[in-house]
Structure 1
Amino acid sequence: MNIIEKDFPFELIDQIAERESYRKEINRPIYHIHKWWAKRLGSVFRAITIGANESNYNGFYKKFEPSNKIILDPFMGSGTTLGESVKLGYKAIGCDINPVSSYMVKQGLTWATKEELDKEFKKLEKDVSAKLKSYYKTEIPKESTKADVLYYFWVKVVTTPDGENIPLFKNYIFSKNAYPKRKPESKVVCPNCGEVFTCLYNSANEVCPSCKNKFDPQVGNVKGSLVLDSQGKSHKILNLVNQNTNPPDHKLYAILAVNKDGEKVYLKPSKFDFDLYKTACEDFEREKDNLIIPDQIVREGYNTNQARRFNYSRWSDFFNKRQLLGLGILYRRILEIPDQRIKEQFITLFSSTLEFNNLFCSFKGEGTGAVRHMFSNHILNPEKTPLENNIWGTSKSSGSFSKLYKSKLLKAKEYLETPFEIKLTKKDGKIISEKVVCSRKLRLSQAENFAELSEKDFLILNGNSSQLPIPDNSIDSIITDPPYFDFVHYSELSDFFYSWLRKGLSSNYNYFNKKDSSDKGEVQDRDADSFSYKIEQIFKEGFRVLKASGLLCFSFHHSNYKGWLSIYSALYNSNFEIVAAHPIKAEMGVATPKTASGNPINIDAILVCKKNEAPNCKGSEEIIKTAFSKTNNYIKRFEKIEREISKGDKFVILCSQILVECSTNNIPPEEAKLFLEKAIDNFTY
């Protein structure tokens, strides 16, 4: 019996996971080489992988010898299971139906030295950086040389039926510190003349030093879905937008640049700045036929309809012409890199840069990473005051190509060289962390098919995991994080990257030859029955390829018992028995059930399943009684380590324990529903 069937040391792992979650991109950079929407904590999945394959957890900081055990993840996502498995010396197979996932996981695990990458980066820098940066210059009064622009501040503009152009300002303070009480100075734009000046972050009464206009900087002309014109008449923003078929126009209203002393300065745009943008637009029109620009349509979907309502009909609409010009020039040069392996590393970096360089980005403020990327909301909500980044960037930039090269690409490759774990120790009453290297160098080899895996380290597949090119009874354990039936449909969002990637990768990867990144076999579905059926097919395939003694382990949480029932039905119909469920820290808090309104869910349940054996025969009252007892025991264990858990967290623990008891007693899904409802109604939160 593997140890995870009996227990999981969440008291230890929870603390490590908490520390990891503060800076996931630093502590597990191979999973953050590119955007993905559900990245699980590496320390948690390391512990799950050990627990599903070993007899104890003593090896968490142990260097494992290479093993022939094979770990499968049928919902690969960002590749956490693969990374943790190969670090432990196991062989790994990952499959995902989304092309962006399959591609980026391969790139995260691909070995490339700093010397190789630096050599190519310097060539790119020599060939294109000056050209790109020439479009991000400004004039600073009393300075003879042109200054580098960090960011341009834009505002959407709508036109009333009377012909009045109205900028969509929620308020007029556009820059303040992340900790405004400590550093109260902020930047404000005058709604009358556009002057940029300094005020306090909470000021409600300002006089423009230029035009003497008196105004409250906290109150803009946008009130929810409405905007006020100069006469005080309100208009529905969407109605004004839909007078045309194109996305709204934008007006440049402020600039953040770096002066000759290296200091950041805010400026009101001048004729120079407007002329430079005009030049960029003219250059784009002249060059566009020679640039690689996405032409893919934004398809309808829950996560995309908000953008479509604002007339963003193609993914190229998400960028202004200067951005399309700069990105097109950069992408064209990257595709000239002769070494395919290195070229793909830079294509990945380019794709990652897109997230921070588009019209759906906004300004986070001073004292933090300045650029709020476009996926801060899962729906693509058009930004009323977007931020235009300097694509190549400077030493003071955030989210630029040159900065992400160091913070994402190089960090990921350094981690392959020295993969480490976080170890916590107590010193003088304080918890301190250190990095412990307990894995071999990950100079990994990729198999092209299952047969090659005997001599290789990992295999990446793209396609429907209900039909895997894997022999029967060949997998030692399945460790995964399945999607949830009513959550984000990743392909609707990943199309943003796919529309660019397919332009440079379709000749090398068949899965980039589709019109978009969607697939009819996607498990995510807002209909619970459809979700349950599709995930059931994948569990059945898992049952086929899993060895008789193997375990299926996956993390799960849901704020609605229907989500739990869907996963239970799929397991029941696949002949899997849930033998244990353990709570552990989730990546982030989510919405909560009615019974725990206002209390976020901060934990996952790890469901441990094996091929069905002879069921127990407990009575109905005993099933609920046992589940209550296990739930309360876990709550006490959390209390003992002084970890606060919400009502939503208790809901997760309770549902998972009800599923264990129902499963081990072979309760059909229709009866399990009654047990869930009764338990939820009668448990004391």
Structure 2
Amino acid sequence: MKIKSPGIQIALDWKHKKIAHNLIDHHFDINFASQLAKSESYNKHLYRPNTYLHKWWARRCGTTFRSILKHLVRNESDSDYYAPGGLEGQVILDPMMGGGTTLHEAIRLGANVIGADIDPIPVLQARASLTEVSLKKLEDRFTGFYNALRSKLSHYYQTECPACEKSVELRFVLYGVRRKCRCQEALFVDSYVLRHNSDGSKIRICPETYDILRDERTISACRVPPGLPLYEKSRKVCTCGGKYQDDTDMPYYRRYVPVAIAGECPDHGMFFSAPRQADLDRISLADAERENADFDGDDFRIASGPKSSDLLRRGIFSYPDLFSGRQLLFLRHAIDALKTVETPIRLKLALLISTSTEFNSMLCGYKGAGERRPGAIRHTFAHHAYSFPFTALENNPLHPSRSSGTLHNLFHSRMVRGHKWAAEPVERQIRNRKTGKVPIPGEADMGEEVYDISDLRKKSHRFLLIHGSSVCLDLPDESVDHIVTDPPYFDSVQYTDLAAFFRVWLR
């Protein structure tokens, strides 16, 4: 494929294997772009919320790519960073689009765009985030979808307030992990401390009795202790001299045992309590329904890869084993409820459910002990790898609050915020070390999808998406004006390996 003019980073002639270098380095304002990128890097999801509908890794700063694309603008008066548009009538290709930064920035500037990726999730995310839908219709469909899930599942997420015995909705459950040595099995948690209160007191688990204490006073007695010693993760070796290790003969979700319940009472506020028999019965009831969730078979088997091999080494061979019974039922009912939602809203909600699994698996940890972030979740991919918590957190995804990891919060913080920003995008301007917002009138981060390249130039703000390898893109000569991309490191495709965690639910 020949292109009309050299691209920003590289221009490829795939027929003749030529690479033309662009001279952008001679006049690119590195200091300006670096200042904006540094500011954006701390809050990418706030600077470009429409690109954060679904989890993807190593997203590039939108401000950097806007700076790059502005150097392709032919009219000098439109080349200023804060000037709207400038790429009308041009076609930009990103053959390895990943998080879709190039597409979003180029379509805002009026270009038509082509995005390709070997993984389907970037393609689905670009389609969902670039396709315009009515915000009111989106909110109405979400409300119906959300209420349908609550009607099916809310009874699994009940507990009792220890102060008044009233049945209330739980926020999350904390689990310790089973480990064993030569002589015994024990439970391990990150820390006995569950919460540092603003008055200096601490909520913690008693390692001898499993009672929940406020300093030294029992606030919730444990009536059904697990019958195992409880240790913090710093304990590596047993008194017998044996090293504690994971019990890899047991399904992953069964390696965790509940040690604390967090709920919220309308009269007494948020509380921690020791699990009661009724709490354990609800967990058992959901576990008994696992087989009915119908997530078995080869489609859910874990294939060996640069990151998934960490799962296999720990005796985890199926993605559903990473989820509790309640979490699987949530996925099952969500997938069924999506069948009644029309396209393209169905795709948006499907991606919402998919990305919610990052906050709703037994790979999630607990980082909510601090008084500033009570109940905060360490999500599945807090690091660009799988991690295996000592204290696992099972979230209530249907809790009505906008707290960490709930469906309600994800919908409003990602989808609604992204939709509003896409209709009226803003940029940041740094003056005297202070950052302010600058509206960009006339721009929009959305467009119209086409399915044939011959339709791409008929109007502006059109996009063509390709799921496939960039090695063999079948595009006509001179159908593309510029290639703007940030390729992966050589053949490193660890992100697509990690993305299998989401793909299995999007089939």
Report TM bin, short chain: 0.7 to 0.9
Q: Of the candidates 161, 169, 193, which is equivalent to residue 148 of structure 1?
A: 169
Q: Does 1:79 align with 2:100?
A: yes
Change in CA separation of 1:144 and 1:175 when aligned onto 2, cut-off 3 Å: closer
Q: Does 1:26 align with 2:51?
A: no
Contact in 1 for aligned 2:169/2:264 (Cα 8 Å): yes
Shift of 1:495: 0.5
Match in the other structure for 1:100: 121
Q: Does 1:14 align with 2:14?
A: no
2:109 and 2:363 map into 1 onto residues whose CA distance is: 40
Shift of 1:54: 4.2
For residues 102-157 of structure 1, give each alpha carbon's deviation from its aligned partner in whole angstroms, at most 9, with x where no partner exists.
11121111112211111111211332213322211110134353111111001111
For residues 14-67 of structure 1, give each alpha carbon's deviation from its aligned partner in whole angstroms, at most 9, with x where no partner exists.
222222222211210121100001101101100011124447685211122561
> Post-superposition, which runs of at least 4 consecutive aligned residues in structure 1 deviate over 6 A?
206-211, 291-294
Counterpart residue type for residue 333 of structure 1: A
Q: Quick one: higher RCO (CA 8 Å, sep 6+), 1 or 2?
A: 2
Contact in 2 for aligned 1:66/1:88 (Cα 8 Å): yes
Contact in 2 for aligned 1:397/1:403 (Cα 8 Å): yes
Match in the other structure for 1:188: 204
Q: Does 1:296 align with 2:300?
A: yes
Contact in 2 for aligned 1:175/1:363 (Cα 8 Å): no
Q: Does 1:236 align with 2:250?
A: no
**Structure with more of its chain in helix, by fraction:** 1
Contact in 2 for aligned 1:302/1:379 (Cα 8 Å): no
Shift of 1:496: 0.6
Match in the other structure for 2:488: 483
Q: Does 1:470 align with 2:475?
A: yes
Counterpart residue type for residue 411 of structure 2: Y
Contact in 2 for aligned 1:294/1:500 (Cα 8 Å): no
Q: Map 1:199-598 to 2 at 5 A.
A: 199=215, 220-223=231-234, 226-228=236-238, 232-238=239-245, 241-244=247-250, 249-261=255-267, 263-285=269-291, 287-289=292-294, 295-337=299-341, 339-365=342-368, 366=370, 367-368=372-373, 370-426=376-432, 431-456=434-459, 457-485=462-490, 489-502=494-507
Match in the other structure for 1:638: none
2:182 and 2:244 map into 1 onto residues whose CA distance is: 12
Higher-Rg member (1/2): 1
For residues 611-650 of structure 1, give each alpha carbon's deviation from its aligned partner in whole angstroms, at most 9, with x where no partner exists.
xxxxxxxxxxxxxxxxxxxxxxxxxxxxxxxxxxxxxxxx
1:247 and 1:237 map into 2 onto residues whose CA distance is: 18
Match in the other structure for 1:50: 70
Shift of 1:257: 1.0
Matched positions, count: 473
Match in the other structure for 1:39: 59
Change in CA separation of 1:306 and 1:66 when aligned onto 2, cut-off 3 Å: closer
Contact in 2 for aligned 1:138/1:149 (Cα 8 Å): yes
Match in the other structure for 2:14: none
Change in CA separation of 1:308 and 1:384 when aligned onto 2, cut-off 3 Å: farther
Change in CA separation of 1:424 and 1:237 when aligned onto 2, cut-off 3 Å: same
Change in CA separation of 1:134 and 1:246 when aligned onto 2, cut-off 3 Å: closer
Shift of 1:396: 4.8
Contact in 1 for aligned 2:83/2:440 (Cα 8 Å): no
Shift of 1:168: 1.9
Contact in 1 for aligned 2:52/2:414 (Cα 8 Å): yes
- Residue aligned with 2:80, SS: helix
Counterpart residue type for residue 481 of structure 1: D
Match in the other structure for 1:197: 213
2:39 and 2:202 map into 1 onto residues whose CA distance is: 32
Counterpart residue type for residue 256 of structure 2: H
Q: Of the candidates 187, 190, 197, which is equivalent to residue 167 of structure 1?
A: 187
Contact in 2 for aligned 1:150/1:397 (Cα 8 Å): no
Change in CA separation of 1:63 and 1:396 when aligned onto 2, cut-off 3 Å: closer
1:71 and 1:28 map into 2 onto residues whose CA distance is: 19
Counterpart residue type for residue 240 of structure 2: K
Counterpart residue type for residue 66 of structure 2: R
Contact in 1 for aligned 2:182/2:242 (Cα 8 Å): no
Q: Of the candidates 101, 105, 110, which is equivalent to residue 89 of structure 1?
A: 110
Contact in 1 for aligned 2:158/2:169 (Cα 8 Å): yes
Contact in 1 for aligned 2:354/2:502 (Cα 8 Å): yes
Counterpart residue type for residue 129 of structure 2: G
- Residue aligned with 2:499, SS: helix
Change in CA separation of 1:39 and 1:282 when aligned onto 2, cut-off 3 Å: same
Change in CA separation of 1:183 and 1:8 when aligned onto 2, cut-off 3 Å: farther
Q: Percent identity?
A: 28
1:41 and 1:183 map into 2 onto residues whose CA distance is: 41
Contact in 2 for aligned 1:293/1:500 (Cα 8 Å): no
Contact in 2 for aligned 1:292/1:331 (Cα 8 Å): no
Counterpart residue type for residue 380 of structure 1: Y
Normalised to the residue count of structure 1, the TM-score between the two structures is: 0.64
Change in CA separation of 1:158 and 1:449 when aligned onto 2, cut-off 3 Å: same
2:110 and 2:297 map into 1 onto residues whose CA distance is: 42
Unaligned regions of 5+ residues in structure 2, if any? 1-5, 7-21, 222-229
